[in-house]
Amino acid sequence: MTRTAFHYRNGVLHAEDVPLDRLAEKAGTPCWVYSSATLEARYRAFAGAFAGLDALVCYSLKANSNQAVIATLGRLGAGVDVVSAGEMQRALAAGIPASKIVFAGIGKTEDEMVQALDAGILQFNVESEPELRLLSRVATKRRKTAPVSLRVNPDVDARTHAKIATGKKENKFGIDIAQAPAVAKLATTLPGIALQGLAVHIGSQVTDVDPYHAAFARIGDLARELNSGGHRLTRLDFGGGLGVVYDRASNSGAPPALDSYAGAVRGALARLPNGGRGTEIVLAPGRWLVAEAGILLTRVVYMKSGTAKRFAIVDAAMNDLIRPTLYEAHHPMRPVTEPASPGTEIVDVVGPVCETGDFLALDRPLPPLRDGDLLAIEVAGAYGAVMSSSYNARPLAPELLVRGDTWAVVRPRQTVESLIGLDRLPPWIKPARPKGRNRAPTKKVSRQRNNKHRRRKG
């Protein structure tokens, strides 16, 4: 499987067969660029690792919720894992069948439960006893049965960034594994609830297979215990979180190979009677499918030399890509014009947002850059555009999807007018009228100008 579809050709970085300088000229910068070929290759590789199992790959939509990305994966057979009713509606609008939608998340509201029940989703991943009781009441009121998997917190350290670890006992996610049997017993007594399985998710950007082995084994043992006690669990949801390589120079943080990861799943199934035959499995990869499929294309506005630092001030910012600021994340970067020599200089790549924390890279060795150069920020297809904001009244950047030598805008650039148009003045504030030269001409003045123009023309 090709690592990435972004490569130099004739001295210019391309996305598949499209030169990135052409995309910058047509769409402007900053902009997001996604590769269809990479999305498809990553999905096929992941799904292929679980051949022979009754497996459903449910793309974790929070990684990148662009409709074109969802639809591309859906056409290959993917379901989706969502954490809000908004994400569910996005998935349905992109053509994902409700029967392939898993609703996860710890704070589902009554309205969200109603929407998901009416849609007929595959399962709710329930994360607490209060949630289970509310879902029972909502389902009963609507004369429906909610398919449920209990999300269990296995108290396993995923050895990832503290802000994206979800499987330790101090995290807010899931039902403590020691309490799970009691909650499972409760589920069987509640009307409108059909307990079908267990779920687990220990974190994101996981690069060590050992935590997966530990967590999945505990879920397998718990499923065996519950089934021997009279439950009839037919589905295990192993979540996602498999990491990708961000620092290619050092290859640090390399994730386990797919066959090793799949081996942890197969090992959990082996703990069940008959080797888990007849058990459906759900997998929820997000980052692994889309991160390497996307870049953020930006242009150098100025090169600035300070007394202690050299800065590449670009037109992308923390509002576009917040991961470096939020997670101290590393993203590889390359100039769009292939460097003529191997020399580098140490620079901070920063944006124009009025925050010291507005940086995309610190102390990064890069080929010498000049004002106006284009820079590709790579491995940005996950948790990039989906986490962007309009801070500093900066409109959201457009998203483009490439397929071979063709491309399309799959989210237009937001305009300042549409951004301002989201606001409404209260009735006690009258809209301000422009003053001076910027004041809009009155109808009378406009008629006078038009008549004067006609006389001159005649």
- Is residue 320 within 8 Å of residue 47, measured between CB atoms? no
What is the rounded CA–CA span in Å between residue 123 and residue 187?
Answer: 14
Specify which residues 311 forms β-bridges with.
304, 348
* HSE-CB for 166 with a 13 A CA cutoff: 22
What is the rounded CA–CA span in Å between residue 131 and residue 50?
Answer: 32
Distances 306 to 54, 122, 134, 309, 311 between C-alpha atoms, Å? 59, 57, 58, 5, 8
What is the rounded CA–CA span in Å between residue 152 and residue 216?
Answer: 11
- Is residue 199 within 8 Å of residue 150, measured between CB atoms? yes
Pairing of strands 79-82, 101-103: parallel
Q: CA nearest 393: which of 420, 433, 426?
A: 420
- Is residue 61 within 8 Å of residue 286, measured between CB atoms? yes
Other beta carbons less than 10 A from residue 185's beta carbon: 14
Query: What size, in residues, is the chain?
Result: 458
| Alpha-carbon radius of gyration of the chain | 26
Q: What are phi and psi of 404, to 5 degrees?
A: 65, -120
First to last CA, the chain: 70
Distances 160 to 63, 69, 167, 328, 454 between C-alpha atoms, Å? 17, 26, 11, 12, 72
Q: CA nearest 284: which of 62, 37, 48, 35?
A: 62
- Is 354 a catalytic site residue? yes
DSSP type of residue 18 = E
DSSP type of residue 352 = S
Selected catalytic residue, list 249, 340, 354, 432: 354
Pairing of strands 12-15, 6-9: antiparallel
Helix 129-141 with 110-119: angle, nearest 10 deg: 60
What is the rounded CA–CA span in Å between residue 131 and residue 104?
Answer: 12
- Is residue 347 within 8 Å of residue 181, measured between CB atoms? no
The catalytic residue positions are: 354
